[in-house]
Amino acid sequence: MFYSVVWFKRDLRVHDNEALFKALDQGPVLCLYILEPSYWRGLDTSKRQFEFLRESLLDLARDLKSIHLNLTVMTGEAIEVFSKIYESLPFRGVYSNQETGNFLTYRRDVQLQKWLQAQSVIWDESLQHGVLRGLQSRKSWSAHWDLVMMAPQFITKNQIVDYELQTNLHLRFPSERWPKNDEWLTNNEPCPERQLGGRAQALEILSSFLKKRSGTYVGGISSPLKATSACSRLSPYLSLGCLSMREVVQATNAMIQSGATRPYQSRGLHNFLSRLHWHCHFIQKLESEPEIEWRNMNEGFTGLREEEWSSQWFERLIAAKTGWPLVDACVTMLRQTGWLNFRMRAMLMSVAAYPLWLHWKPVGDWLATQFVDYEPGIHWSQVQMQSGTTGINTTRVYNPIKQAMDHDPQGEFVRHWLPVMQRVPDAWIFEPWKMPADVQESCGVIVGKDWPLPIVDLAQATQEAKKRMHERRGVQSVKEINAKVLDRHGSKANMRSGSRKKRDALKMNLKQDDHQLTFNF
């Protein structure tokens, strides 16, 4: 019996799924998702992500049913599962979309490729997100991204190739029972207010953003209060591929071109498109250099923070007990909802890296477990950028007191997530440790008892951290490595406005099939 395996990974959708589209063109398919224990035992995974995945797989299964296909979920390591299937009934090919995951999934793919080659089984991997595998230079990357985003979406028809053969496959490989999450997970913290998974939820949120919420995108995404509605909130669905990047880009362009938007809304949608481009730009960094998940992007910064790790300060950070109201409110929100807007994420990492002088890797692992929308390519690039270890970016130091004054001037956000702060007068909401003793008594918030003193003197610790960072940046060997990092990972944004002749030449060189290269302006 000739059949192919469609291996779903971070592409949990039927619509605009190139791997599924191509596999069905060859005959019957086994739609497979593998729950890998080694992945879920990782330091960057959590119960909230596991539950979001389960909801997304249920939606995928329903959508596959609509085209007469079943989703088979199996537990085990990838090679182990593929071996089991192959021994039961050999398959002739594996179809999947390329995945830019963490380092573990990168190594798994390398090992699986060798196993498939030993069985003389082809592995057809399609592009995902416009990220290029094996990229040597960023010179034409942006133009490539534009081409992929403009190409037609893959529409899988509501039919199967051979009903009898397909039915036999479904009977032979049924889904296994969903495992208990506490068998693997090291982070089982509840997340009662997280977003729900699945494509149906994703489409609803996309529609509400395009038609209404995008009007507050500009000016709203930096505010921890306004961002919950001003941001698109599509990140977890893009991370697991419940929506395709191309589908979101084209839907956004269609809304802009429809003429149904007001000027401020149109401006918000244009800014949103720019961030979708940067989404893939950062994932490309990890695709090109998987080691940045655990190694400094500029190795000249090795040894800068590693030997001065403070478990006490780290524990206070993750327990929302730093003593800085905005920081502790952000940590509380993150633990409750699994989401935080970009500026506040950057502030958390900056506070950890500078005044607390914590190395980015353990902090990054913890943050990864908190984000329902954990996207390794974006996450590790940003963690290193905010810590200053890329070498090619301006030192980013966010003062949590100034950020609170700028983006939560009335203390609404802080008071919402930290009930004790509701009793603190406005004059002291940003720096409660400065309250006079009589004010503490009158409002019922005693610093050191009801509210912790700051871990360190913010100004002094930040000044010392910046001094040490700038000294390291000035070392000649670090400067020399910067040039290599910039060449490999730096943005070549000017290529986006290249001539039509350049784009036509690029189109001829891209390794895509004719379907992908048909423009739909």
The string of pLDDT tens digits covering residues 453-464 is 999 999 999 999
Classify domain 299-486 by CATH architecture. Orthogonal Bundle (1.10)
The pLDDT tens digits of the residues spanning 216-232 come to 999 999 999 999 999 99
Q: How many angstroms separate the CA atoms of 354 and 63, rounded?
A: 47
Local confidence band at 396 (pLDDT 50, 70, 90 cut-offs): confident
Percent of the chain scoring above 70 in pLDDT: 94
- Phi first, then psi: give them for residue 97, nearest 5 degrees: -95, 140
What pLDDT, on the 0 to 100 scale, is given for residue 491? 64
Position 275 confidence tier, pLDDT thresholds 50, 70, 90:
very high
**Above 80 in pLDDT, residue 1?**
no
3-state DSSP call for residue 195?
coil
CATH number of 1-128: 3.40.50.620
Does residue 500 surpass a pLDDT of 60? Answer: no
pLDDT digits (tens, 9 = 90+) for 127-148: 988 899 888 788 888 999 999 9
pLDDT of 98 over the 50 cut: yes
Using DSSP's 3-state secondary structure scheme, residue 258 falls into coil
Place of tokens 């290249």: 498
Q: What is the four-CA torsion angle of 477, 482, 484, 490, rounded to 10 degrees?
A: 180
For 437, list phi and psi in degrees, rounded to 5. -60, -40
Alpha carbons within 13 A on the beta-carbon side of 481:
17
For 167-199, the pLDDT digits (tens) are 999 999 999 999 987 789 999 999 999 999 999
Q: Are 221 and 82 in contact (CB under 8 A)?
A: no
Strand pairing class (4-8; 122-126): unpaired
Domain ranges of the chain: 1-128, 299-486
User: Distance between CA atoms of 391 and 483, rounded to whole angstroms?
Assistant: 9
Tokens describing residue 228:
């919950």
Containing 277, the helix (H) or strand (E) segment is helix 263-288
- Helices H / strands E in the chain, number of each: 24, 5
Q: Residue 507: pLDDT above 80?
A: no
pLDDT surpasses 60 at 512: no
Torsion sign over Cα 332, 334, 336, 339: positive
CA distance 243 to 472: 42
pLDDT, average across residues 477-501: 69
pLDDT confidence of residue 501: 47
Residue 382 confidence (pLDDT) above 60: yes
- For residue 297, pLDDT over 80 is answered with yes
Output phi, psi for 356, to 5 deg. -90, -15
- At 482 the pLDDT is 87
Stretch (H or E) spanning 379: helix 376-387
For the chain, what is the mean pLDDT? 92
| Residue 492: band (very low, low, confident or very high) from pLDDT cuts 50, 70, 90 | low
Q: According to the model, what pLDDT value does residue 509 have?
A: 41
75: buried, middle or exposed (CB in 10 Å: 19+, 13-18, 0-12)? Answer: middle
